[in-house]
């Protein structure tokens, strides 16, 4: 029987509409398997035959399987529309399966949502979330359903909330705005909180004054949502109401006000926002900097920020420096930031350095170059660091001249900066100029030259250091000796072997470390010969070198 039914269903397309309808109706009534009934219903839908309404009603009333019921709902709503949806509405309360109720509501809402208002608003109270959702969506644009939709807001459900709010907004744009404004005084807090945001999204300026009144509400969420709502609709002459909320007791309300004022770009709020740069709450300060940055970029005036930098509060000064990263068009900004590089506060120095780099935009500012000649060594150091970070090749000669700076920290930064140039032509120029400085009578220049060549680390840079192993300056001699260990394919170990017998134990240790780094077996014999050194530290370093080159070196004794 089952095979014959399937065959008949597949053959109905060869019959005329009336005959096909009768055959399919018969199968729907008699077939035992719900899948087969559903298949027959689907074929009947495609026939678009609307002459068997009573039979289909009867079939629906006797159907128990959900899939078949949902197919019948589709047939009744599409083929019979008015009478079909009227019938389906009567079946809603009797239906236990939520998925069938959901399909039923969708069908009615699609065909007849305006004339079925009572039915659909009743469905808003359904116990199933998915059914409620379908009812809400079906009522979009039905202005007479607005109040019913708003009442659903009182049952704060995250799954429904976003959809519900969107539907209320779209529907609310079609009605007199005071129908929604009235709910700002609702006794239900969930409604009250949501209505503020909804009014903001609708964007009707008639809601401005009522929302301003909400800024004094006892509930911080209502205040916060009202501030958000005002962002798009508040006129400039009423922004002071939002500015006042910067003193709110609730940090979330204050943060919202800060962000909104930044988005609005309110110049009136600059002074009040600057006061918040010394707030104890780190997040408040962070959001304030973001907001002020938006405002100041457009105003192009940083005078108020400079005033903060003159004051003593270190927290406010640090935050103010961050604002100057947007002051690239203001010539005073760079001058002030360079002065701050000499601050006693390390964080201020670091922030000023970062701000200068951002303002510089990969180009060395003239004021930075001038900073290399400042009396304060911190300024010279950071200016060198900035030049090195930017990598301006035209500054190489200037940097080389600073290798004999009176301050070691500046010289160290110069060495770091010069070692970062990767252009082969520029690097060769640096190496050649540095090699010539190895013969300088200035010990500072010789020391930094050795450090720089060691830091560059290529054979071309290291080989000239052999000439320094007899330098009168013990540091030059020691550093040059250590650096020889970085040489690749070294042929002559004589210089290092000689240094293993130097009078200064620091030099003998440096020579041992160099042999260890080279790692060549040719170094074993000179090291073994030096094991009798009378200095314990030297002997220990020699043993380390031997172990590193050949762990079983003792077999050679």
Q: In whole angstroms, what is the distance from residue 184 CA to residue 502 CA?
A: 91
Token digits of residue 248? 């709110």
**Phi, psi (degrees; rounded to nearest 5) at 352:** -65, -40
Tens digits of residue pLDDT in 449-465: 989 998 888 878 887 88
pLDDT for 1 beyond 50: no
Tens digits of residue pLDDT in 148-168: 999 999 988 788 899 999 999
Q: Which of 326, 321, 374 is nearest to 350 (CA)?
A: 321
DSSP string over 238-285: GTHHHHHGGG-SSHHHHHHHHHHHHHHT-GGGHHHHHHGGG-S-HHHH
Residue 74 binned pLDDT confidence (cut-offs 50, 70, 90): confident
Query: What number is the average pLDDT over the span 195-199?
Result: 96
Q: In whole angstroms, what is the distance from residue 467 CA to residue 435 CA?
A: 10
Work out the number of other CB atoms within 10 angstroms of the CB of residue 157.
13
Residue 510, helix vs strand vs coil? helix
Which pLDDT belongs to residue 2? 43
Q: In whole angstroms, what is the distance from residue 252 CA to residue 461 CA?
A: 59
Residue 86 binned pLDDT confidence (cut-offs 50, 70, 90): confident
Query: What number is the average pLDDT over the span 410-427?
Result: 92
In the DSSP assignment, the letter for residue 97 is: -
Q: Which of 240, 186, 196, 247 is nearest to 221 (CA)?
A: 196
Write the secondary structure of 351-373 as one string of H (helix), E (strand) and C (coil).
Answer: HHHHHHHHHHCCCCCHHHHHHCC
Token digits of residue 238? 């009423």
Token digits of residue 109? 């809402």
Residue 13 binned pLDDT confidence (cut-offs 50, 70, 90): low
Question: Quick check: 246 and 264 in contact, CB under 8 A?
Answer: no
Q: pLDDT > 70: what percent of the chain?
A: 90
Token digits of residue 106? 């969708």
Q: In whole angstroms, what is the distance from residue 38 CA to residue 75 CA?
A: 11
Rg (Cα) of the chain, in Å, rounded? 42
pLDDT for 336 beyond 90: yes
Question: Quick check: 197 and 228 in contact, CB under 8 A?
Answer: yes
Residue 328 binned pLDDT confidence (cut-offs 50, 70, 90): confident
Residue 472 binned pLDDT confidence (cut-offs 50, 70, 90): confident
Tens digits of residue pLDDT in 364-375: 999 999 999 999
Q: In whole angstroms, what is the distance from residue 278 CA to residue 289 CA?
A: 11
Of the listed ranges 16-30, 311-325, 335-349, 423-437, the one predicted with least confidence: 16-30
Cα–Cα–Cα angle for 533, 539, 544, rounded to 5 degrees: 150
Question: Quick check: 8 and 42 in contact, CB under 8 A?
Answer: no
Q: Any residues with CB less than 8 A from the CB of 84 and at least 6 apart, and which?
A: 53, 75, 76, 77, 78, 111
* 362-367 CB contacts, 8 Å cutoff, 24+ apart: 362/390, 363/390, 363/392, 364/390, 364/392, 364/394, 364/395, 365/334, 367/334, 367/335, 367/338
Token digits of residue 231? 């962002």
Pick the CATH number of 365-479 from 3.40.50.300, 1.10.520.10, 1.25.10.10, 3.40.640.10: 1.25.10.10
Which pLDDT belongs to residue 488? 64
Q: Is 473 exposed, middle or buried (0-12, 13-18, 19+ CB in 10 A)?
A: middle
Which pLDDT belongs to residue 115? 86
Alpha carbon distances (Å) from 50 to 78, 83, 124, 354, 470? 9, 11, 31, 77, 111
Q: Which of 482, 553, 552 is nearest to 518 (CA)?
A: 482
Q: Any residues with CB less than 8 A from the CB of 81 and at least 6 apart, and which?
A: 111, 112
Residues of the chain with CATH 1.25.10.10: 365-479, 490-557
Alpha carbon 453 to its chain centroid, in Å, reads 41
Q: Which of 232, 219, 228, 140 is nearest to 186 (CA)?
A: 219
Q: Any residues with CB less than 8 A from the CB of 148 and at least 6 apart, and which?
A: 121, 124, 139
User: Up-side HSE of residue 235: CA atoms within 13 Å toward CB?
Assistant: 8
Q: Which of 382, 388, 355 is nearest to 370 (CA)?
A: 382
Of the listed ranges 320-324, 418-422, 494-498, the one predicted with least confidence: 494-498
CATH of domain 490-557: 1.25.10.10
Q: In whole angstroms, what is the distance from residue 89 CA to residue 119 CA?
A: 7
Residue 134, helix vs strand vs coil? helix
Please report where in the chains the tokens 């219903």 appear, as a residue: 41
pLDDT for 410 beyond 80: yes
């Amino acid at each position: 029987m089952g095979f014959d039914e399937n065959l008949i269903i597949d053959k109905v397309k060869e019959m005329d509409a009336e005959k096909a309808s009768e055959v399919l109706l018969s199968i729907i009534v008699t077939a035992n398997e719900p899948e087969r009934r559903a298949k027959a219903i689907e074929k009947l839908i495609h026939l678009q035959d609307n002459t068997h309404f009573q039979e289909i009603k009867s079939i629906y009333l006797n159907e128990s399987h959900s899939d078949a019921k949902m197919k019948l709902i589709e047939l009744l709503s599409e083929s019979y529309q008015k009478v079909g949806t009227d019938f389906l509405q009567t079946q809603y309360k009797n239906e236990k399966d939520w998925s069938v109720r959901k399909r039923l509501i969708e069908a009615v809402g699609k065909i007849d949502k305006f004339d079925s208002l009572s039915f659909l608003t009743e469905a808003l109270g359904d116990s199933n979330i998915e059914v409620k959702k379908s009812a809400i969506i079906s009522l979009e644009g039905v202005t007479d359903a607005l109040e019913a939709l708003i009442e659903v807001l009182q049952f704060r459900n995250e799954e429904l909330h976003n959809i519900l709010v969107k539907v209320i907004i779209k529907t609310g744009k079609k009605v007199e705005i005071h129908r929604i404004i009235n709910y700002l005084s609702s006794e239900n807090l969930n409604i009250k909180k949501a209505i503020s945001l909804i009014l903001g999204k609708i964007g009707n300026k008639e809601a401005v004054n009522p929302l301003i009144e909400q800024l004094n509400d006892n509930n911080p969420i209502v205040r916060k949502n009202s501030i958000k709502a005002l962002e798009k609709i508040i006129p400039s002459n009423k922004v002071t109401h939002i500015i006042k909320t910067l003193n709110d007791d609730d940090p979330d309300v204050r943060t919202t006000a800060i962000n909104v004022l930044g988005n609005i770009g309110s110049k009136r709020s600059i002074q009040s926002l600057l006061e918040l740069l010394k707030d104890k709450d780190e997040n408040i300060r962070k959001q304030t900097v973001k907001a002020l940055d938006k405002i100041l970029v457009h105003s192009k005036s940083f005078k108020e920020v400079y005033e903060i930098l003159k004051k003593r509060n270190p927290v406010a000064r640090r935050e103010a420096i961050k604002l100057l990263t947007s002051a690239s068009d203001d010539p005073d900004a760079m001058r002030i930031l360079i002065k701050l590089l000499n601050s006693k506060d390390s964080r201020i120095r670091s922030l000023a350095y970062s701000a200068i780099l951002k303002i510089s935009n990969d180009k060395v500012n003239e004021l930075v170059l001038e900073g290399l000649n400042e009396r304060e060594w911190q300024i010279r150091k950071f200016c060198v660091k900035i030049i090195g970070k930017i990598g301006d090749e035209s500054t190489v000669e200037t940097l080389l001249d600073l290798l004999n700076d009176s301050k070691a920290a500046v010289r160290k930064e110069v060495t770091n900066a010069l070692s970062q140039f990767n252009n082969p032509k520029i690097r060769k120029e640096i190496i050649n100029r540095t090699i010539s400085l190895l013969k300088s009578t200035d010990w500072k220049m010789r020391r930094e030259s050795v450090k720089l060549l060691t830091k560059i680390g290529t054979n071309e840079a290291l080989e000239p250091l052999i000439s320094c192993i007899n330098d009168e300056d013990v540091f030059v001699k020691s550093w040059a000796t250590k650096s020889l260990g970085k040489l690749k394919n070294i042929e002559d170990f004589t210089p290092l072997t000689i240094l293993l017998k130097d009078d200064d134990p620091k030099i003998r240790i440096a020579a041992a470390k160099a042999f260890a780094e080279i790692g060549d077996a040719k170094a074993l014999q000179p090291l073994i010969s030096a094991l009798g050194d009378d200095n314990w530290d030297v002997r220990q370093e020699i043993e380390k070198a031997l172990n590193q080159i050949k762990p079983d070196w003792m077999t050679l004794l």
